[in-house]
Amino acid sequence: MKVFEYQLKKSIKRKTVAIKVHNKKVTVYAPQFVSNKHIQEWLFDKQVWVNAQLTKQHNIADSRQNPLKDKQILIFDSIINIEFKQGTKSEVLNCNDSLLITHSSRVKNTSQKYQQLLEEYLKEQLTAYIEMRLAYFCAQMGEELPTSLKVAIYKRKWGSCNSKRELTFNLHLIGAPYHAIDYVIVHELAHLRHLNHSKAFWQHVEHFFPNYKASSTWLKKNSMSLQWVFCKRLANHT
């Protein structure tokens, strides 16, 4: 009998048993050779800690955005109103500081289509801003432009950089103020010289972005409100 509900993930490469509580769900990671009985015994000793984490997460108010329900979305720290309706074709139109998102009569799953159209639009807006600021900060920091730039939704990171000079950024940054996005850009560009978070790395970040701590703190405090969910069923739209 399970001590609490959890998802078990076993791996041949893994050498130790670990547990993660995230989004009110428990995941257990274990080596392939560890028996389920042994895992159960190990988890029994972790009950108090796991229950405390679950209680803590249940008590945190869900501040994520719901564009289809609330008909608005954060774009560069500004609330943008959205109208959803049927049109001659599926597209996103920018109308006087608001968005009009339409779907053609051929679309069966309108909620899914609205999500696709909105996220494509947000990706275009964020990519354009990041490309512009990358050019500026690369010049300031004496760096060549990265070999590639990717914007996508990630669960646990705002950005990343690897030894191939490939940069990625989280699409949820679209709702953040410009200073927070700029901080993430400088942070990732600093990794082109320091592929770690050493003292030298943070000194490099501070040299080109002196107020980086305030921006980092803002992102930590507002990370949930920058995310969004899409309700499964949308009220009637004509």
Mean pLDDT of 59-87: 92
Q: Lowest mean pLDDT of 6-10, 56-60, 96-100, name the range.
A: 56-60
Residue 76 falls in which region: left (phi positive, over 0), alpha (psi -120 to 50) or beta:
left
pLDDT digits (tens, 9 = 90+) for 175-207: 999 999 999 999 999 999 999 999 999 999 999
Domains and CATH numbers, the chain: 7-59 (no CATH), 67-226 (3.30.2010.10)
Buried b (16+ CB within 10 A) or exposed e, 165-184: eebbbbbbbbbbbeebbbbb
Asked whether residue 62 carries a pLDDT value surpassing 70, the answer given is yes
Residue 90: is it exposed, middle or buried by C-beta count within 10 angstroms (0-12/13-18/19+)? middle
Asked whether residue 235 carries a pLDDT value surpassing 50, the answer given is no
% residues pLDDT > 90 (the chain): 80
Using CA atoms, how far apart are residues 230 and 118, in angstroms rounded to an integer?
A: 11
Mean pLDDT of 130-151: 98
Asked whether residue 238 carries a pLDDT value surpassing 50, the answer given is no
Pinpoint the alpha helices (H) of the chain: 36-44, 47-59, 67-70, 110-141, 178-190, 199-208, 212-226
